[in-house]
Amino acid sequence: MGRAGKTLTVVLVIGLVGGGLWIWLRPAPVAPGVMFVGDSVTFLSLDQLNQQVGSKHPLYLARSGYRSTELLPLFTAAVRARERAHQRLRQVALLVGYDDVLKDDVETKALDRVMALAGRFDCAIWLTLPPVPLRDDRTNRWNHRVKSAARAYPHVHVLDDWRNAVMAAAPGALVVRTDGVHPNRAGARRLASIFTQAIHHLC
């Protein structure tokens, strides 16, 4: 093979490898009908989520004051409805547990059942909780339970991104000062971005 032929071969190989890397590294799209499961923290971020993923017609299962026990039947019904319609369970994003911590229900068996439902999706994003004021021990216990339960489900990705963002921010920068839990406008934008970026990079 002459020098020109070798050069062409090298260029083709580099092009194929580069193209393969691009396909592997490019962000995954948010799936149509992506589900979001959560309590008031997620509910207060719906406008910002809609700005980012509204075109995908997401299903929001976000209710103020709901523990995992109350969210479980909503999530179960949504999953069963998709399965009855022979729709693929593609993506779900969850931020669950604030009210379990606040109402001292961190040992609830509902957590394992919610996790099992999340494990039926092609990809699930589950965000851990930032410290709930005056309830650090309960928060840590909840997050430990989440991470332990997720080990049985390879497609469930548990992330500390929201927790880390809140802990690193100045007081009042992402969550309101009055309770240290609920997001302000900047926090809602950050949470929505964390959800969508996690889907892009892990799903």
**Cβ-based neighbours of 183, under 8 Å, separated by 6 or more:** 41, 44, 45, 174, 175, 176, 190, 191
**Rounded Cα gap, residues 32 and 53, in angstroms:** 9
Asked if 126 contacts 198 with a C-beta cutoff of 8 angstroms, the reply is: no
Q: What is the pLDDT of residues 110-140, one digit of tens each?
A: 999 999 999 999 999 999 999 998 799 999 9
Indicate the SS3 state at residue 95: strand
pLDDT band at 20 (very low <50, low <70, confident <90, very high): very low
Fold of the domain built from segment(s) 31-202: Rossmann fold (3.40.50)
Residue 25 is predicted with a pLDDT of 62
The mean pLDDT value of the chain amounts to 90
User: Are the C-beta atoms of residues 131 and 179 closer than 8 Å to each other?
Assistant: no
Query: How many C-beta atoms surround the C-beta of residue 127 within 10 A?
Result: 27
pLDDT at residue 13, rounded to an integer: 41
Is residue 195 within 8 A of residue 125, CB to CB? The reply is: yes
Quick check: 8 pLDDT over 80?
Answer: no
φ, ψ at 42 (rounded to 5°):
-70, -40
Rounded to two decimals, what is the model's pTM?
0.87
Q: Which of 21, 28, 26, 48 has the alpha carbon at shortest distance from 199?
A: 28
Q: d(Cα 97, Cα 65) in Å, to the nearest integer? A: 10
Show me where the domains of the chain are located. 1-30, 31-202
Write down the pLDDT at residue 134. Answer: 79
Model confidence band, residue 17 (pLDDT cutoffs 50, 70, 90): very low
Distance CA 12, CA 199 (A): 32
Predicted confidence (pLDDT) at residue 53 exceeds the cutoff of 60: yes
Residue 1 pLDDT exceeds 60: no
Q: What is the pLDDT of residue 81?
A: 98
